[in-house]
């Protein structure tokens, strides 16, 4: 890709452990101002891929380019453009949030006023300014995760790689993390984000690489991938009375209509339609049966369905 906004590229990354090819041939390119998602089940090879990109483990093949130039090992000064948030927490529990950040900042070679400034900025990003002096052992899981993320941002990297940063996080902290990450993106940072959560990928990522068994099985803009997955539309119909035995089956006789389980109320009927064009036939049939409709909504196809349609398999959790 010859595109000036591309800041990071990986070409043909490979990794094998014993007989297992963990990463087969991974290509990716990441642009400034976007969140690229690496979405796949546990064991798909996401952590191995980002660890190779961040230089934590050696690749068996392939290379990484930053700003179009291959990385030259640990001494490469452009390594400072990268910030990695690893999957495992690495905090000093007995130190305060600020002391943790100062320790990480020192690792990146920050000192003096610059270090103080960056620690304050990181505390703001993590939403922990008022807890700066408190020891980490007293923090909730979500606060620890936010601090863990902040540790990777001290040197103000242009590329932020986050490996499943919301595992074990409460919904409130998760929202805070998402908002912080989207603000970083909007400030022009490039984010590479691994997850096995469909809804995270959908909410956060501009583009997705769907990975399984160390390979990309699909890629594209999140929105377009989702639209392409509209193989079928699920509609929920709210009827004026509890559903009688045989109604779903009767509708299931119509071409392109498949009854589904899982209505939220006894009056709710869920149907999978081959396309929305089938809906008028369904409504006509209901009218013929003198069942009145009180409301209806469609369910958006989930990335879960997309994954299933691409790989024939359910996402493992
Ligand atoms: N150091 C290692 N030694 C042996 N096997 C490993 C090692 N690291 C990862 N694996 C294996 O590689 C596969 C991919 O792991 P990983 O990259 O952690 O996947 P993900 O992050 O997508 O869950 C898994 O089957 C895992 O057991
Ligand atoms: Mg992982």
How confident is the prediction along the chain (317 residues), in pLDDT tens digits per residue? Answer: 457 899 999 999 999 999 999 999 999 999 999 999 999 988 999 999 999 999 999 999 999 999 999 987 777 888 889 999 999 988 999 999 999 999 999 988 999 999 999 999 999 999 999 999 999 999 999 999 999 999 999 999 999 999 999 988 999 999 999 999 999 999 999 999 999 988 899 899 999 999 999 999 999 999 888 776 656 788 999 999 888 889 999 999 999 999 998 777 889 999 999 888 899 999 999 999 999 999 999 886 666 777 777 777 776 65
Res 144: pLDDT: 95
Res 197: pLDDT: 87
Domain extents in the chain: 6-228, 233-300
Other Cβ atoms closer than 10 A to 235: 19
C-alpha angle with apex 308: 217 to 270, nearest 5 degrees?
150
CA atoms of 176 and 251, how far apart (whole Å): 44
Asked if 155 and 123 count as a contact pair (C-beta separation under 8 A), the reply is: no
CA atoms of 33 and 199, how far apart (whole Å): 21
What's the CATH class of domain 233-300? alpha beta
Nearest to 305 by CA among 247, 260, 268, 269: 260
Q: In the CATH scheme, what is the homologous superfamily, with its name and number, of domain 6-228? A: P-loop containing nucleotide triphosphate hydrolases (3.40.50.300)
Other Cβ atoms closer than 10 A to 120: 14
Ligand closest in space to the Cα of 43:
1
> How far does residue 45's CA lie from ligand 1's centre (Å)?
6
Res 76: pLDDT: 81
Asked if 53 and 65 count as a contact pair (C-beta separation under 8 A), the reply is: no
Res 265: pLDDT: 84
Measured from the Cα of 44, ligand 1's closest atom is 22
Measured from the Cα of 87, ligand 1's closest atom is 21
């Amino acid at each position: 890709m010859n595109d000036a906004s591309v800041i990071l590229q990986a070409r043909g990354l490979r990794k094998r452990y014993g007989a297992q090819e963990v990463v087969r041939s991974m290509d990716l390119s990441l642009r400034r101002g976007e969140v690229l998602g690496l979405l796949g089940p546990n064991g798909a090879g996401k952590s191995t891929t980002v660890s190779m990109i961040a230089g934590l483990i050696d690749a068996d093949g392939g290379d990484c380019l930053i700003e179009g130039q291959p990385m030259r090992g640990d001494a490469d000064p452009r390594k400072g453009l990268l910030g990695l948030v690893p999957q495992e927490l690495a905090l000093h529990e007995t130190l305060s949030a600020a002391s943790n950040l100062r320790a990480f900042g020192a690792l990146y070679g920050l000192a003096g006023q610059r270090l103080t400034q960056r620690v304050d900025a990181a505390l703001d990003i993590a939403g922990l300014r008022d807890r700066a002096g408190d020891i980490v052992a007293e923090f909730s899981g979500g606060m620890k995760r936010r601090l863990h993320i902040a540790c990777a941002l001290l040197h103000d990297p242009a590329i932020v790689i986050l490996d499943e940063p919301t595992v074990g996080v409460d919904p409130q902290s998760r929202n805070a993390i998402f908002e912080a990450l989207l603000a970083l993106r909007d400030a022009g940072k490039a984010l590479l984000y691994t997850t096995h959560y469909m809804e995270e990928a959908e909410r956060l990522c501009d583009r997705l690489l769907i990975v399984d068994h160390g390979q990309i099985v699909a890629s594209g803009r999140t929105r377009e991938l989702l639209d392409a997955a509209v193989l079928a539309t699920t509609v929920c119909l709210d009827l004026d009375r509890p559903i009688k035995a045989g109604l779903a089956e009767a509708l299931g006789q119509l071409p392109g209509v498949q009854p589904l389980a899982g209505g939220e109320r006894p009056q709710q009927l869920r149907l999978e339609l081959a396309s929305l064009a089938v809906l008028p036939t369904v409504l006509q049939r209901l009218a013929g049966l003198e069942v009145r409709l009180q409301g209806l909504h469609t369910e958006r196809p989930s990335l879960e369905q997309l994954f299933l349609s691409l790989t024939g398999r359910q996402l493992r959790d």
